[in-house]
């Protein structure tokens, strides 16, 4: 039988996480610092999370034997990866607490279901059409061009997407994706991108983190800025309200992120949902009273949620593998000593064996009471790493 929601798991017990990437690794660190043990379930050996967890099960996500083995270690499982098959979450949920639930993750892992769900909650999304066949594509209104064709499943960091100016380009892109189900979205004039990271506990209690402004380069998050660039409190509240509505509509328990676009006319459009901590919430590790990963631990354990106050203005900068190839063809370790010489800079590296261009290797949080100092040191970090 799964754990009743009101059962609290105390430190010393073992929590489970599906996925062994950097998000899983930071979950492990948060859990371990509170005295929990962690079991990581991940298909590959020597993963960022697997190498720091107390226990590890290496198996593919749909391997029942592996999932059963996971249940030998723990009766509470969360995820760091939205593409875990919903059937596997369902299987685990017969014997364990699984948060977020299979049903919630199933909606979020399919852009078609996700967009329809968000719109059903009365929240604006970009104008879009579901594309399942070439015939669907040939019928889309011309107002969706220029647009972005996005594969419904398994996209991340701008992968599985094509910017298309015309129907002909869209047809070509759809074919190159292998005619898998897609959404075609109108390209919107973005003024800013923001995200709301929040946590919802088993009693329906909700906390939201301060809203950060995100910048992307080549479809990959590059930076999040919090407490410096002002966003109007009306926009911030609108985004938070929408995120909370989405979470309660999904009957969601856990940490969730909703990405929003702010358009030229200040309207707020929901882009996508992540059923887990998010890259744009990494700033919380050094800038908030509770980090997004500690919050994930607290929800899963049935503990009270932590306070989310911002302690100081902060910039989070992602570190990609490109920083290993600044002036050489062969991978060379960046000048970490120079980075760490700057005040208020916190380095987080994910323990990935090989640096590759475009691969997320870590991030730095630059924290300072004075927003001008944050900007100043962020520029210096960028100069060292780029």
Task: Give the residue with the Cβ less far from ligand ADP, 33 or 166.
Answer: 166
Is residue 111 part of an annotated ligand binding site?
yes
Is residue 185 part of an annotated ligand binding site?
yes
Task: Give the residue with the Cβ less far from ligand ADP, 157 or 236.
Answer: 157
Compute the least distance from the CB of residue 212 to ligand ADP, in Å: 13
Query: Which parts of this chain interact with ligand ADP (CB under 6 A)?
Result: 126, 148, 150, 155-158, 185, 187-188, 190, 193, 216, 219, 259, 271-272
Residue 364's DSSP bridge partners are 317, 347
Task: Give the residue with the Cβ less far from ligand ADP, 2 or 158.
Answer: 158
Task: Give the residue with the Cβ less far from ligand ADP, 259 or 294.
Answer: 259
Compute the least distance from the CB of residue 117 to ligand ADP, in Å: 15
Is residue 259 part of an annotated ligand binding site?
no
Compute the least distance from the CB of residue 125 to ligand ADP, in Å: 9
Contact present, 117 and 107 (Cβ < 8 Å): yes
Is residue 132 part of an annotated ligand binding site?
no
Is residue 124 part of an annotated ligand binding site?
no
Is residue 158 part of an annotated ligand binding site?
yes
Compute the least distance from the CB of residue 278 to ligand ADP, in Å: 10
Is residue 160 part of an annotated ligand binding site?
yes
Task: Give the residue with the Cβ less far from ligand ADP, 194 or 250.
Answer: 194
Compute the least distance from the CB of residue 296 to ligand ADP, in Å: 20
Compute the least distance from the CB of residue 289 to ligand ADP, in Å: 28
Task: Give the residue with the Cβ less far from ligand ADP, 114 or 294.
Answer: 114
Binding-site positions: 111, 150, 155-161, 185-188, 193, 216, 271-272
Annotated binding site for ATP: 111, 150, 155-161, 185-188, 193, 216, 271-272
């Amino acid at each position: 039988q799964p754990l009743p929601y009101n059962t609290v798991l105390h430190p010393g017990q073992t929590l489970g996480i599906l996925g062994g990437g950097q998000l899983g690794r930071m979950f492990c660190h948060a859990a371990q610092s509170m005295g929990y043990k962690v079991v990581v379930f991940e298909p590959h050996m020597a993963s960022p999370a697997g190498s720091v967890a107390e226990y590890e099960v290496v198996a593919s996500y749909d391997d029942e034997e592996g999932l059963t083995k996971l249940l030998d270690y723990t009766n509470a499982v969360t995820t760091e990866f939205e593409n875990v098959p919903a059937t596997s979450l369902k299987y685990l949920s017969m014997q364990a607490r699984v948060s977020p639930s299979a049903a919630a993750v199933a909606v979020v892992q399919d852009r078609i279901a996700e967009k329809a769900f968000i719109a059903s909650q009365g929240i604006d999304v970009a104008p879009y059409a579901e594309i399942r066949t070439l015939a669907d594509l040939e019928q889309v209104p011309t107002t969706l061009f220029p647009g972005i064709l996005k594969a419904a499943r398994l996209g991340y960091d701008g992968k599985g997407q094509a910017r298309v100016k015309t129907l002909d380009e869209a047809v070509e892109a759809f074919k190159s994706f292998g005619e898998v189900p897609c959404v075609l979205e109108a390209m919107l004039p973005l003024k800013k991108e923001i995200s709301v990271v929040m946590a919802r506990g088993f009693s329906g209690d909700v906390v939201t983190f301060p809203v950060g402004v995100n910048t992307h380069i080549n479809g990959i998050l590059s930076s999040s800025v919090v407490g410096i660039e002002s966003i109007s409190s009306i926009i911030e509240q609108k985004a938070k309200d929408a995120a909370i509505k989405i979470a309660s509509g999904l009957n969601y328990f856990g940490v969730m992120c909703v990405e929003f676009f702010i358009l030229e006319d200040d309207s707020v459009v929901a882009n996508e949902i992540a059923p887990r901590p998010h890259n744009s919430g990494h700033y919380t590790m050094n800038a908030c009273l509770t980090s997004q990963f500690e919050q994930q631990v607290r929800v899963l354990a049935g503990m009270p949620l932590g306070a989310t106050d911002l302690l100081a203005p902060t910039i989070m900068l992602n570190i990609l593998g490109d920083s290993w190839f600044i002036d050489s063809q062969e991978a060379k370790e960046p000048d970490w000593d120079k980075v760490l010489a700057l005040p208020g800079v916190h380095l987080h590296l994910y323990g990935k064996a090989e640096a590759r261009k475009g691969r997320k290797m870590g991030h730095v949080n630059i924290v300072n009471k004075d927003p001008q100092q944050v900007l100043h040191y962020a520029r210096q970090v960028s100069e060292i790493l780029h």
